[in-house]
Structure 1
């Protein structure tokens, strides 16, 4: 059987280690995403840090695999495949969060202990920001009519019961923003 890799043993093992670490970290990011936890670099935009880290890890895995392969055509194929995956992830992120259309509203508890972020792109999502600002946790969706953005229009009220317990009252549609209010009760431990 013909070996795919012939050459310096150090390059092979360093590539194998970096491939293993990048795949482990990619699965760890996937695990965090499934739990509604997103790494971020400041706000807004949300989870861009998560997307950037995923793209970097995919590129590291691609480079590691290509360094382990000696056949030139296969090496180019692996590099092209990695780049296509990164481009697809980036385009999907931009489709979900259009740069000019996404609106962000920060909410801070009266005692300034807890911070929240509402992200509106036609459908709203409420996140709780970590104290460090390095990650945020999904709390609840915010449903409106026909892509209305009540938080961007300042058509909401908050009834604070504590810094982790509050009731959000928000306008459901733009036709009668002050008549048709919906409410969400948020109680975090």
Structure 2
């Protein structure tokens, strides 16, 4: 079975425009982050790719529609959010529920995200491999904070193609 990669949505795969509100699928302009297409194209060959988002106002259909608008949807096997997990991201329970739904061991799953508190720390607590995207525009003010020791820190999404292979997972 292929290992799993969970990606955060906003500012990890798609640009979260600060002055926009409401469902991203309804925004007048949406865009993928730099390197998202190439990274997902390469990694989806050897991994099952999912989105794990904390978006509260979007259900799975809304999230899917946003990804379709930027042509990333063909790489995504599924979406995890409040609607289908019953809990928001930011706790270990969120990731435990994903592991249970996928019926996969934590050491076969990587979490990629830009937010230390919502993406990285709780995923690490659940035993996932963690990759923290900390570009200047994407670090959400916590780039000077310390990530768990095992977390790999990246400055560009495209770094994953050389960092993440099945052998890289624990």
TM-score (norm 1): 0.24
Of structures 1 and 2, the one with the larger relative CO (CA 8 A, separation 6+) is 2
Q: Which has the higher strand share?
A: 1
TM-score (norm 2): 0.25
